[in-house]
Structure 1
Amino acid sequence: MTWLPLLAAGPALAATTSRPWGVLCVGLLAAVLGAVLGIRDGVPGHELAIVLSALVAVTLASGLASALRVRRERVLAAVRSVAEAAQHALLKPVPATVGPFQVAVRYSAADAEARIGGDLYALVPTPYGVRLIVGDVRGKGLPAVGTAALVLGVFREAAYDEPDLLDVVGRIERSLARNLGPDDFVTAVVAGYPGAGRMEVVNCGHAPPLMVRDSHVMAVAPTHPTPPLGLRALTGETPSLQTLPFTDGDQLLLYTDGVTEARNHEREFYPLAERVARHMSDEPSRTLAALHDELLAYVGGRLHDDAALLLLRKPAAVGSAPAAESRASVGEPTRPSLLQ
């Protein structure tokens, strides 16, 4: 009689993994087992009836809990499918080759269940060359996702329409000025490859891209710092266009602050420049896979902010001679401490 009530643990635990019919079967088995043991050991009838009634009540309650759990799982599955569809619509998959470039992208939302966040990226071939954007929206949650969708939509349209990269940035700025609140903004790097071995970059308050050339990693710091998108009206400053030599074998890494501000258990920032030099290869996808895996290990398996990485590489043309274009210096190799 002392141990018979423990049979109620069967249907209670079954509710966490089984469907309602499975819970009822476990409850029925527990009731039959309790009746057999009670009769064998001579438990008084009224006491055995109380135990069996308790088993029936626990079984019915567990069956109801199981039904509610199954319903919540179906709703969650539907929400996840919608989130995946939204991610593919917002952050469209980037092919391994775009125009003359090899491309790789890695994106991790801070909330793994959300799949998408406030970081954004896009890379599109246009009549004016390949153009791309990597940015970070202030804030988190659905408002940040909505702002990211707005920026990407305007960018994809303007990239096809505007011959000048600064005009692309201007259209994004005007759209944000109409739709954002006074405290909202977006940091971003907008780049374009019009051809002839040069890359155009407009940095709007974002982390400087990293140029990889001849195994050296260099930060492409803006010559004239520009405020983030959405804040031009407060400062009156206009973005400036920076032109970089970009020839065969060069690579350009764009990222968000979720990467460089990731901390380990000792509260040290992730040394991106140092790790890029360590993992750099001729295959962007392999490079970013190694960086992403190391970043997750560095922070203990989970990021606390959205993180995006986009790596662009210009491979040498098959059968061509080494590039004779001038490889002017972008800047001195950046030490990891400067990026921290």
Structure 2
Amino acid sequence: MAQGLDGLSRPGRPGRAWVLVPIAWIIAVSVVDVLAPPHIHLGPLLVAAPAVTPSFGGPRTVGLVAALAVCAQTVIGVLRDPDELLSANHEAQIMALLLVGTSLVVFCVIRERRAKELRQVRYVSEAAQRVVLPPLPQRLGPLRAASLYLAAEAEAQIGGDLYAAVRTASGTRLIVGDVRGKGMTAVNDASLLLGAFRVAAHRPASLDELVAYLDRSVCWDLAEPGETGRSGETFITAVVVEIPDRDHRVRMVSCGHPPPVVLRDGRPLTVDARHPAPPLGLGELAAPRYHVETFPFEPGDLLLLYTDGITEARDSAGTFYPLTERIRGWTEHDCDAFLARFRRDLLDHVGGHLDDDAVMIVVERPPEL
């Protein structure tokens, strides 16, 4: 279940019946103005008709209403001053309506052009996310999985958070990470690490050897021409896990990343690394040793892998999202059902807007029959 790309279709406008509102206003003002005493002039109120039309109409609708307002002002002038045809006052009002109507049409054209550009940007970002971060398959051998990606910026839809899963001959390997920084540089670093993981995770190397290779891949990228000065400033926190098909213990290497959580019968168990390694990309500076740690993952358990965009999400009072406290007592054993509830709970906590991208991966080991 991959989220975070909602509302990409063109937003619909209210029904065409709304155009009757400014037209009725024009008719009402015109009738009252013609019947009113000579010293009362209601013509300036006609400008309200084209002024409200952009809220539900496009350039053509606005132009039509503005033209009707100009015609109405002309008719009012002719009927009120039949001898002089049009007074200077009515001519000034007509010119004002023409100016306002033209300005509103131009505004609507620019607005629709920018809306089209925004739709194109969202379409491209959706395609980029599906290439770089395709949703996890629902089945990973005997495991079930689901993924949630929530972008902080609706226009971007993709950032430096990353995840991937690879099947091996004996199990499943997963990575969840977070690139320091934002923008296209973070996306580039994330795609590089994901590519390296997808290629190397199939090999029969041990988990610590795999993580060492991923660290070298990030360091090599920082050493490329044009990347001068990024060494030591760019890094990627990550947790890499290996879930055997026939063993109920998960192997893990943590590189400065938030710890996984195992949800067992409604009780969240945080898996803190006893020997965490530094983030990927700092290997040349820290010369790390990667310790493989294990923890139980029994049938019926849910394994939660996530980024700090979740645990550092704040509510209006500045309180961080307390992940383990919020999910305590949740008894969902289905990945999709858990993520649906979690997504609602997280967005309720932050008031509907995240300050940072957030990823949650849920892996379920189904109960043995």
Q: Which residue number in structure 2 is paired with residue 57 of structure 1?
A: 99
Alpha-carbon distance, 1:137 to partner:
0.9
Instruction: Pick from 110, 121, 124 the counterpart of residue 68 of structure 1.
Output: 110
State which of 164, 179, 188 in structure 2 corresponds to 1:137.
Answer: 179
Q: Which residue pairs with 1:199 in the alignment?
A: 250
- Are the aligned partners of 1:91 and 1:121 in contact in 2 as well (CA < 8 Å)? yes
Identity of aligned residues (%): 42
Match of 1:304 among 341, 355, 359: 355
Match for residue 203 of structure 2 among 144, 151, 161: 161
Partner of 2:365: 314
Q: Which deviations, in whole Å up to 9, do the C-alpha atoms of 1:79-114 show, x marking residues without a partner?
A: 111010001011101122221112121111111221
Q: Does 1:272 align with 2:315?
A: no
Residue 153 of structure 1 deviates from its aligned partner by: 1.2
Q: CA deviation digits over 1:139-170, x for unaligned, max 9?
A: 11221111111111111111123432222212
Greater Rg by CA: 2
Secondary structure (helix, strand or coil) at the match of 1:161 reads coil
Q: Distance in 1 between matches of 2:169 and 2:41?
A: 82
The TM-score normalised by the length of structure 1 is: 0.88
1:283 equivalent to 2:334? Answer yes
Does the aligned pair in 1 maintain the 2:267–2:329 contact within 8 Å?
no
Equivalent in 285, 294, 312 of residue 234 of structure 1: 285
Match of 2:274 in 1: 223
Check conservation: 2:314, 2:350, Cα contact below 8 A. Answer: yes
In the TM superposition, what is the alpha-carbon distance from 1:9 to its structure 2 partner?
A: 3.5
Partner of 2:121: 79
Q: Counterpart in 2 of 1:176?
A: 218
- What does the per-residue CA deviation read over 1:194-237, in whole Å, with 9 as the maximum and x for residues that have no partner? 33222111100001101223443211111212111111221112
| Aligned partners of 1:122 and 1:134 also within 8 Å | yes
Paired residue for 2:79, among 31, 40, 43? 40
Q: CA deviation at 1:44?
A: 5.1
Task: Find the aligned partners of 2:156 and 2:136 in 1 and give their Cα distance.
Answer: 20
Q: Would you say the 8 A contact 1:101–1:313 is kept in 2?
A: yes
* Structure 1 residues 129 and 54, CA gap change in structure 2 (3 angstroms): same
Task: Report the counterpart of residue 332 of structure 1 in structure 2.
Answer: none
The 1:24/1:216 distance shift into structure 2, 3 A limit, reads closer
Q: Is it true that 1:251 corresponds to 2:302 in the alignment?
A: yes
Matched residue type, 1:279: W
- In structure 1, the partner of 2:32 is none
Moved more, 57-66 or 249-258: 57-66
Give the stretch that moved more between structures: 169-178 or 121-130.
121-130
Q: CA RMSD in A?
A: 1.9
Aligned to 1:109: 151
Measure how far apart 1:77 and its partner are: 1.1
Q: List alignment gaps of at least 5 residues for structure 2.
A: 1-39, 223-229
- d(CA) in 2 for partners of 1:17, 1:162: 61
8 Å CA contact retained: 2:311, 2:322: yes
**Is contact 2:267–2:328 with CA below 8 Å preserved after alignment?**
yes
